[in-house]
């Protein structure tokens, strides 16, 4: 049972919401810490993080400090006498003073099979790298980036999910795996990570979405899915930036008719077939500047990509 555990939760994006809800249901959740409110969207309106919005809806106290390191903040959380401090995609590295506050320490819900893909964007990079599987690790938080001992892991196969779809799946799995860990918190012994196997998943940038047509069809397919929904994959056509939301692999072999990567071989209601460094992909969903996202059939009705033309 976990109902006796006094917990504090620190998280920010949608990935962290199922963990928040699990703690609110199965523990004595004392308070929630999230990143400061930020201006988002075209109107630059101040918006709460998904975690803050959900916590307030649940009637849980939320604070959004700009500084979480140092003894002053640690002393504030110590007033709640937490047994466990839980983090999930909080976005900050915690200092020793704060990590020493909870009786059972701090646990982090991380979306990779540690020590692989430590860092800010493990879900994106698992797809982009073409990994066959990924998962969630429940680890002890330490001052170093995602380097703590691991209590429990849950594995999943990567099929043809986008990063957004895989995030939803791993968020739910992470919450369940955390709950299993908390139930055994008095007896479970964590396993140290093998530092020689550590890899990293740096934060995504918009430039990561630029398609290099000299890569293989499979690599471009992974890139497009790994960039969906953010930052998004893109390419150029007649000096305009075209957002590419979905592709399928038509062939893993080099194109037969045109050898130059980026060349359009065929455009039909099924999509736009484009030569890659190895093989060919079919663009199934795209978006022109200032326009709505369109399916293959929709953009075929109003926009033609001439065979022989080249995506930049």
109-152, pLDDT tens digit by residue?
Answer: 999 999 999 999 999 999 999 999 999 999 999 999 999 999 99
* Fold for the domain defined by 6-197: Rossmann fold (3.40.50)
d(CA 209, CA 90): 24
- 206-302 domain in CATH 3.30.565.10? no
Six-digit token string for 20: 């928040």
Domain boundaries, the chain: 6-197, 206-302
d(CA 253, CA 305): 22
Q: Give residue-wise pLDDT tens across range 26-65.
A: 999 999 999 999 877 777 788 999 999 999 999 999 999 9
Q: List strands edge to edge, sheet with 28-33.
A: 62-63, 28-33, 6-11, 84-88, 106-110, 133-140, 150-157
Q: Which residues contact 11 (CB under 8 A, 6 or more apart)?
A: 17, 19, 20, 32, 34, 51, 87, 88, 89, 90
Q: Give residue-wise pLDDT tens across range 65-99.
A: 999 988 999 999 999 999 999 999 999 999 999 99
Q: Give residue-wise pLDDT tens across range 251-309.
A: 887 655 557 999 999 999 999 999 999 999 999 999 999 999 999 999 999 888 989 89
How many degrees, rounded to 5, is the angle at CA 144 between CA 152 and CA 38?
95
Q: Is the pTM of this model over 0.85?
A: yes
């Amino acid at each position: 049972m976990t109902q006796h555990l006094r917990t504090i939760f620190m998280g920010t994006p949608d990935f962290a919401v199922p963990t928040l809800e699990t703690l609110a249901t199965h523990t004595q959740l004392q308070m929630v810490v999230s990143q400061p409110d930020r201006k988002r969207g075209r109107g630059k309106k101040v918006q709460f993080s998904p975690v803050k919005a959900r916590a307030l809806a649940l009637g849980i106290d939320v604070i959004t400090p700009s500084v979480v390191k140092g003894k002053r903040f640690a002393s504030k959380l110590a007033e709640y006498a937490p047994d466990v401090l839980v983090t999930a995609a909080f976005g900050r590295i915690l200092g020793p003073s704060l990590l020493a506050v909870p009786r059972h320490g701090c646990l982090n819900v991380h979306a990779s099979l540690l020590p692989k893909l430590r860092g800010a964007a493990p879900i994106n990079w698992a797809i982009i790298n073409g990994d066959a599987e990924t998962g969630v690790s429940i680890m002890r938080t330490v001052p170093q980036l995602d380097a703590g001992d691991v209590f429990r892991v849950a594995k999943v196969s990567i099929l043809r999910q986008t990063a957004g779809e895989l995030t939803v799946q791993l968020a739910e799995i992470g919450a369940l795996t955390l709950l299993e860990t908390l139930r055994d918190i008095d007896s479970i012994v964590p396993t140290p990570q093998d530092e020689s196997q550590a890899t990293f998943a740096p934060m995504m940038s918009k430039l990561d979405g630029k398609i290099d047509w000299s890569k293989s069809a499979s690599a471009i397919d992974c890139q497009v899915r790994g960039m969906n929904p953010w930052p998004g994959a893109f390419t150029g056509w007649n000096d305009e930036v075209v957002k590419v939301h979905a592709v399928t692999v038509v062939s893993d072999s080099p194109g037969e008719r045109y050898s130059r990567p980026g060349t359009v071989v065929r455009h039909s209601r099924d999509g736009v077939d484009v030569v890659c460094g190895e093989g060919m992909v079919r663009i199934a969903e795209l978006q022109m500047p200032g326009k709505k996202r369109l399916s293959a059939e929709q953009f075929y009705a109003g926009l033609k990509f001439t065979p022989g033309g080249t995506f930049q």
